[in-house]
Copies of this chain bind each other. A is one copy, B any other.
Amino acid sequence: MISAESNVHLVIGSQIENIELVQIVLEESLRKLEVGDDASHAISLAVGEAVANAIQHGNERDPGKRVEVDLALDGDDLVVKVADEGRGFDPTQLPDPCAPDNLLQPNGRGILFMNSYMDSIDYSFDAQGGTMVTLRKRLGAPRPEAPAADHKEMG
């Protein structure tokens, strides 16, 4: 999963506490790219959901199973990949958490968060079953309060 353009790659055990570790690395990397706090918060929330799903649903909290997280820049896009060693699932068969009947469900909003806070998310599944979600967000938009972060190297 480590691509040529990868800037930071992190492999963690399937412990819930490690979600924060991923977010710390992500936020520190975004800070160096001069990404604003609001954008950084949004990306961190989305990536946290992806890692939580990988740990809970993918690896079923098996401490021997790993979650891999890859941070890269593709032009002005931040690309985050989160991969687990689970059995996969069918993302087209999920209930809509915003449907009136589902509004009071305690779960089922993680992918909605990812979709809302990123420009795109894509699932792919390994022959052996593992899930990889690729989250993408454009960073290049010039922000009024600070110089644009275009063409900066990550990390």
Contacts and interface: CB of A to CB of B under 8 A. Distances in A.
Contacts of A66: 2
10 contacts: A4-B64, A6-B13, A8-B13, A13-B155, A15-B153, A17-B155, A20-B28, A21-B25, A21-B29, A63-B153
Contacts of A2: 11, 66
**Copies of this chain, count:** 2
A29 B29 CA distance: 18
Interface in A33-59: none
A32 B21 CA distance: 10
Contacts of A153: 15, 63
Interface in A1-33: 2, 4, 6-13, 15, 17-18, 20-21, 24-25, 28-29, 32
A7 B15 CA distance: 10
A63 B66 CA distance: 26
A8 B21 contact: yes
B12 A7 contact: yes
A28 B32 contact: no
A9 B6 CA distance: 15
A137 to B, nearest CB: 20
A93 B15 CA distance: 43
